[in-house]
């Protein structure tokens, strides 16, 4: 098949595009600039790259037409964040493309009321513009899928892996979390540490996208979660991470007010956004219909991210040891 991947050199595309090339597909990436993928792969030698600024081209009304003119059988959209943007692309692709696969987010679900949350939950109530827009996009695409352009939506959790920072056990991007765990220092935790984080390795997200592309007759009309087989609690992931440096996590429960004073408003707000939701995503639909089998645990996905940061010199901690056993303090 001829496949266009919008945002092909980002987190997901860095793994998806080589998968598609090795699967025998002709791949064109549409990207804003000339940034290289996060992970080197010889498969990129067979990829055609088109530079197109989506925001600017959507503003002048030319983006969707330019994508449609590439003549693909399938379009994978990894960079759509508003319903208006999705509708602009959809209108141009109907009748010209056989399958549209869109990247959503686990945050189409609101704060967790049941665990795990089902892929086809009809009563979702996302909080915030990001999740609200992504749910609106899902509904737009899937409602017309049977009579217009067949469409599939993939909702990743917290994407981790080589090349970029992973969400820490405290639900933020504060490098001091890793530094304190590596040194065996006390780590202030807002609450009991029982809140849930559901990471996923970028290659497992790419796996689910590839499965959807390969099985359009099964995947079209559905939304799937791309997450690891199991989620982790705050204290669980912190304990796993501390063990990489031969330490035991020293978790100190604090109030949210104390936590904000300790880490600053930006990191505290990011933690709140993740821990308040406390989402675990079911992957049963993806398993049953597409054979989705995540290859990485949460620990392995986050470890890959931390290791790559240390080796790139962007995280000031010793290189972490291998994943393995850990001890949770009472």
Distance CA 9, CA 186 (A): 38
Distance CA 224, CA 208 (A): 8
- Residue 66 maps to a domain: yes
According to DSSP, residue 281 is labeled: B
User: What residues contact 164, with CB distance under 8 A and at least 6 apart?
Assistant: 11, 38, 305
Q: What is the pLDDT of residue 327?
A: 66
According to DSSP, residue 149 is labeled: S
* Same structural domain, 184 and 46: no
Distance CA 21, CA 162 (A): 20
Q: Checking phi first, is residue 221 left (phi over 0); if not, alpha (psi -120 to 50) or beta?
A: left
Mean pLDDT of all residues belonging to the chain: 96
Range of the domain at 222: 2-159+200-226
- Residue 326 maps to a domain: no
* Same structural domain, 75 and 126: yes
User: What residues contact 62, with CB distance under 8 A and at least 6 apart?
Assistant: none
Torsion of Cα atoms, 277 then 282 then 285 then 288, to 10°: 170
Q: What is the pLDDT of residue 330?
A: 58
User: Which residue, chain included where needed, has tokens 């904000």?
Assistant: 260
Q: CA of 52: how far to CAs of 31, 90, 253, in Å?
A: 6, 18, 48
Nearest to 97 by CA among 70, 76, 80, 72: 72
pLDDT tens-place string over residues 232-288: 999 999 999 999 999 999 999 999 999 999 999 999 999 999 999 999 999 999 999
Which CATH number is 23's domain given?
3.40.50.720
* Same structural domain, 168 and 274: yes
* Same structural domain, 167 and 92: no
- Residue 207 maps to a domain: yes
In this predicted structure, the answer to whether residue 328 has a pLDDT above a threshold of 70 is no
The pTM of the full predicted model, rounded to 2 decimals, is: 0.96
Q: Checking phi first, is residue 274 left (phi over 0); if not, alpha (psi -120 to 50) or beta?
A: alpha
* Same structural domain, 12 and 45: yes
pLDDT tens-place string over residues 308-327: 999 999 999 999 999 987 66
According to DSSP, residue 45 is labeled: G
User: Where a domain ends, among 226, 243, 266?
Assistant: 226
- Residue 323 maps to a domain: no
- Residue 327 maps to a domain: no
pLDDT tens-place string over residues 128-170: 999 999 999 999 999 999 999 999 999 999 999 999 999 999 9
* Same structural domain, 195 and 206: no
Q: What is the pLDDT of residue 324?
A: 84
pLDDT tens-place string over residues 70-99: 999 999 999 999 999 999 999 999 999 999
- Residue 250 maps to a domain: yes
- Structure tokens that stand for 324 in this block: 């393995």
Percent of the chain with pLDDT over 90: 92
Q: What is the pLDDT of residue 123?
A: 87
Write down how long the chain is. Answer: 330
* Same structural domain, 208 and 263: no
- Residue 329 maps to a domain: no
- Average pLDDT value for residue range 103-131: 94
- Residue 292 maps to a domain: no
In this predicted structure, the answer to whether residue 107 has a pLDDT above a threshold of 70 is yes
Cβ(329)–Cβ(250) under 8 Å? yes
* Same structural domain, 60 and 205: yes
Q: What is the pLDDT of residue 20?
A: 98
**Beta pairing partners, 117:** 281
Lowest mean per-residue pLDDT among 30-44, 148-162, 179-193, 243-257: 30-44
Q: What is the pLDDT of residue 312?
A: 96
Which CATH number is 172's domain given?
3.90.25
Element (H, E) at 159: strand 158-160
Q: What is the pLDDT of residue 171?
A: 98
Q: What is the pLDDT of residue 329?
A: 61
- Average pLDDT value for residue range 36-50: 93
Structural domains in the chain (count): 2
* Same structural domain, 75 and 186: no
* Same structural domain, 104 and 211: yes
* Same structural domain, 125 and 138: yes
In this predicted structure, the answer to whether residue 100 has a pLDDT above a threshold of 80 is yes
According to DSSP, residue 254 is labeled: E
* Same structural domain, 92 and 167: no
- Average pLDDT value for residue range 199-207: 98
In this predicted structure, the answer to whether residue 221 has a pLDDT above a threshold of 80 is yes
In this predicted structure, the answer to whether residue 61 has a pLDDT above a threshold of 90 is yes
């Amino acid at each position: 098949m001829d496949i266009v991947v919008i945002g092909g050199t980002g987190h997901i595309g860095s793994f998806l595009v080589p998968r598609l090339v090795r699967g025998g597909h002709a791949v064109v990436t549409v990207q804003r600039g000339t940034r290289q993928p996060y992970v080197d792969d010889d498969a990129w030698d067979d990829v055609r790259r088109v530079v197109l600024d989506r925001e600017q081209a959507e503003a002048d009304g030319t983006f969707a037409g330019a994508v449609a003119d590439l003549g693909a059988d399938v379009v994978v959209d990894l960079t759509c964040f508003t319903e208006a943007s999705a509708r602009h692309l959809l209108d141009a692709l109907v009748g010209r493309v056989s399958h549209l696969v869109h990247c959503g987010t686990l945050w189409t679900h609101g704060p967790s009321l049941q665990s795990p949350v089902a892929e086809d939950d009809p009563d979702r109530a996302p909080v915030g513009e990001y999740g609200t827009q992504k749910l609106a996009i899902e509904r737009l695409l899937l409602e017309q899928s049977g009579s217009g352009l067949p469409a599939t939506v993939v909702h990743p959790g917290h994407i981790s892996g080589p090349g970029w920072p992973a969400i820490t056990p405290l639900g933020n991007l504060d490098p001091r979390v890793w530094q304190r765990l590596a040194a065996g220092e006390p780590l202030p935790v807002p609450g009991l540490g029982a809140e849930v984080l559901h990471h996923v390795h970028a290659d497992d997200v790419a796996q689910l996208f590839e499965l959807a592309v390969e099985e359009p007759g099964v995947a079209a009309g559905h939304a799937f979660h791309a997450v690891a087989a199991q989620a982790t609690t705050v204290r669980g992931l912190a304990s796993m991470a501390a063990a990489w440096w031969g330490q035991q996590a020293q978790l100190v429960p604090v109030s949210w007010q104390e936590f904000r004073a300790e880490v600053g408003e930006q990191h505290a707000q990011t933690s709140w956004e993740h821990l308040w939701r406390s989402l675990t995503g079911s992957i049963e639909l993806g398993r049953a219909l597409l054979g989705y089998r995540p290859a990485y645990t949460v620990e392995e996905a986050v470890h890959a991210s931390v290791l790559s940061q240390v080796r790139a010199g962007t995280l000031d901690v010793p290189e972490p040891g291998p994943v393995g056993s850990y001890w949770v303090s009472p």
